[in-house]
Amino acid sequence: MDNRPIGVFDSGVGGLTVVNALSKVLPKESIYYVGDTARVPYGNKSKSSILKFSLQITKWLLKQNCKIIVIACNTASSLALSYLKSNLSTSIIGVIDPAIKYAQMKTKNKQIGVLGTRATINSNIYSNRFKELDQKISVISKACPLFVPLVEEGFISGPIPLSVAKHYLNDIRETDVDTLILGCTHYPLLATIISNVLGPSIKLIDSSLATADKVKSMLKNNNLLADKNLSEINCYVTDYTKTFNTTVDRFFKSNINSIKKIDVF
Ligand code: DGL
């Protein structure tokens, strides 16, 4: 048994979708969440910047004695997970592989769509991974760079996100995709809009739920589950603004114990 916190990070507020899922499947755990609000968005940045930011935050979380690191960001998972795994001797998990596993289970016709940031889509990580798993799976990817600022600004319903979603999803609508990975942790907050545009026949895969299940099984298999009822979520940001607070209040009412500013660079 291990009562140390689970460390989670993302570029901003989106990774809280993973925290929400974690607190549902692992209600006893203490979670330390870092939102890199000073440097959001990651999706339009270079690989070297994303590696540097991810390393700084992971090191900070390890200093806080976290027992496992969850990269709650598809962009950082695409570009930094293998680097962090090979350079740090700690358990680290990203959001890509859990989502891939769920999508592979759900698809009936092996036509899978992936939405993500520019950096995630340009990394080709999803198509490469699916190819390794099953040559017959075909992947249609689409970068949706405006989705992150919409979510960060709280535009998750109404005509503005709807018209942006229509613009991005037209290509997907014209395919036979039956399963669509929301390949950015901000996107589950736009799931209703995305479903409205694509219709109910396309199954949406939320990587936060898939990742939380994977974290649970990793902790269980390694005897690292908390045995005390810690149940707390402490949130740390690299730049503190009232906007972040408002967004957190609006979307994540579930017991966030504190929000503090930290320096990681
Ligand atoms: N939420 C992140 C992701 O999953 C990052 C979005 C961004 O910062 O551009 O990709």
| CATH T-level fold of 6-94+209-261 | Rossmann fold (3.40.50)
Percent of the chain at pLDDT > 70 equals 98
The ligand 1 atom at the shortest distance from the C-alpha of residue 41 is: 8
Residue with tokens 């962090």: 84
Residue 245: helix, strand or coil by DSSP? Answer: helix
Dihedral sign (CA 210, 216, 220, 223): positive
Neighbours of 127 (CB within 10 A): 17
pLDDT in tens, 50-73: 999 999 999 999 999 999 999 999
Domains 6-94+209-261 and 96-207 share a fold: yes
The Cα 83–Cα 54 span in angstroms is 10
Helix (H) or strand (E) holding 138: strand 138-143
Domain 96-207 has CATH 3.40.50.1860: yes
In which region does residue 158 sit, left (phi positive, over 0), alpha (psi from -120 to 50) or beta (all else)? left
The reply to whether ligand 1 has any atom less than 6 angstroms from the CB of 78 is: no
The pLDDT score that the predictor gives to residue 264 is 85
**What residue spans define the domains of the chain?**
6-94+209-261, 96-207
The pLDDT score that the predictor gives to residue 248 is 83
Report DSSP state, residue 190.
Answer: G
The reply to whether ligand 1 has any atom less than 6 angstroms from the CB of 185 is: yes
228 CA from centroid of ligand 1 (Å): 32
Cβ-Cβ contacts under 8 Å for 14 (sequence gap 6 or more): 72, 73, 148, 151, 184, 185, 186, 187, 189
Which of the two residues, 195 and 242, has the higher pLDDT score?
Answer: 195
The Cα 190–Cα 192 span in angstroms is 6
The pLDDT score that the predictor gives to residue 97 is 96
The reply to whether ligand 1 has any atom less than 6 angstroms from the CB of 211 is: no
pLDDT in tens, 132-191: 999 999 999 999 999 999 988 889 999 999 999 999 999 899 999 999 999 999 999 999
95 CA from centroid of ligand 1 (Å): 11
The verdict on whether 73 is a catalytic residue reads yes
| pTM across the whole model | 0.94
Q: What is the DSSP string of 154-187?
A: T--SSHHHHHHHHHHHHHHHTS---EEEEESTTG
The ligand 1 atom at the shortest distance from the C-alpha of residue 40 is: 8
Percent of the chain at pLDDT > 90 equals 86
34-42: average pLDDT: 94
The verdict on whether 66 is a catalytic residue reads no
pLDDT in tens, 87-114: 998 999 999 999 999 999 999 999 999 9
